[in-house]
Structure 1
Amino acid sequence: MATQHHNALTRVLAELPGPLPTFGVIHIAIPHTSRFTIVGNHLAQHAELSLVAIGIGVHIQSLPVGSLVGIKALTARFAEGEMRIAAALRELEAHGYLRRAHVRLANGRMATRTVFCNQPGALERAGRVVVAPKVPPAVPEEAPAVPEEPPAVPEEAPAPPPAPEPDPVPESHPPVRVPPRTAPKPPRRPLPQPRELTPELRQTASAILADLRNHAEELVLSEADVEELVPGVAAWLEREVRPDAIRHALTTDLPKPPKYPAKIVRHRLTVLLPPPLPGAEELAPAARRPLVIPLQNCDGCDRAFRSREPGHCRGCRSDLAAAAA
């Protein structure tokens, strides 16, 4: 079977026009007649999206309307963990491919609308959402290629009947706007700093950072990276976090492969910083105050005795009891 496939591949390569390149990929493009999705190169070759985000974006674009594309659903479908899938969805949302908005249905309940746009730039220019049914058409071999954009619907055309659930978005609902790429990004949170960067803290923090590659081969940091990140690790050590706990927080569930190891370490040192340990005063229960009985002056002998109510001391009460008997 392997020999048959090799011979077929050799024949196809021999029929390709022009000389074949000496290196790089060679495309054998066989037209699809069913079960295919048109994906723009702006997504497949995006310069700022990770490979996981591009793959999830292509996967979501190929699904029919109504498919579940949340973190739980994608984690059950793919081998990547929840953290990597959640980060990929945030990437797609930041670049306008994915939009999640809360809307109120006709029955009064709130629902989350997940919208995937195959061309965020065109959506931004149009200023409106174009929703096309994701139904794979049965295209014969001689039929023309399916256009990327559906034809514009005239304003006087009647609206399609609404589906029973979920209800369509009312016309009065504002259109989804994609933020421009030139919008200012929120400032980056500063790296944690210790109260005092002692020589002992600096030495231990440098050793932890330099040793990361022995536990995660992707985290190879330069000397400049280690010097920059030392205060962040020192802040963890100052809060009495053990070195093995720091190492676990920095090396667990890493993206494959990480583009910028130093940025990943900096981000985790910043967002995962634990609070300081509480002191003995905060952990100790409130001490109970001792019960103090006030002093009273005896009405008979004027001696001091302890009692909640004024009256006679024990001796005078005994004398009064004997006299009454």
Structure 2
Amino acid sequence: MAATKPIAAPRPTPGVRRGATHSGVTHVRAYQSSHYTIVGNHLAQHRALSLTAIGLAVHILSLPQGAPVDIRSLADRFPEGRDRIAFGLRELETHGYLERVRERADGGRFVTRTYAHNAPALTRSRAEAPGIRDEPVVSVAPVTRAVPVAPAVPLAVAEVAGAEGADVPVPEEPPPVPLEACEQEPFSSEHRDKASALLAGLRRTDYRFTLSRKDVERLTPAVVAWFDNGASRAAVIHAMTADVPVPLKSPAGFLAHRLREGLPPPLPPLSPFTAPGEDTPPAPVATTPKLWGERWKDCEGDCTRVLPTAGPERVCRDCRARRAATAPMPALVPAPAV
């Protein structure tokens, strides 16, 4: 009988420290100086998200600014179909990791901006907490000059149909205006609350206009001056956010310059119907509209249609065609013999 040889234990992988547990995963972490993405455990271990949604969220957070994240682009990148990708994106929207906003761009076009939140709960708590100023976040994309971005929108992706590869003229930023030029003495106006709410909500239109509470208080008198001169809310927003230069160095100074230089004159009073010394124009004669029975008449055919009273027709077109089709044919008279 042959002797039984004992099975040798597998040797551990060289360079890897043996784990203290007998089963399960053992992490082998190597230091990375670049090309990595920080993902919170609230996303990686989310109980309600599917594995497809978690993978999509990690992939979107690793993309640079401006990368397309629509369903077609993701379906071309991954083997999953469009239905699974669309379902995963809806999951991320439901739990706050993705936000799609329809915004108006330059030239009157509408674009869909996708905001990817790496920590939606933290962003929401900071936005709701009073007296906390948003800290600037530097984009991870390789740019010549870092643009401050509010933490509420750590990744903004613009998906513009037909705008890829087009040369768009970039306006130049005017010289910044000191905010002290917009400061005035304390005042009370009926438009103060509306102006303050407009300035605080500008970040919904463009994330670059995320203003601090102090900047909002300084710019409020300038917006109130627009409202006092008869400008509408849409006109004020368009005057402040149209043709914004890239990059925007000082959002508050840029808005102060726009509000000061573009202030419209007050609306003139409504002119009276007559000037002094002129004859009073005759009062307009009130005309009584005709009744329904005076404007329309019934068709004399077999239908229930109505015809205009002013027209010469007494029978509608369909009744005339029906009568012509049912009318007897005239008898043929033989030609006389020659």
TM-score by length of 2: 0.40
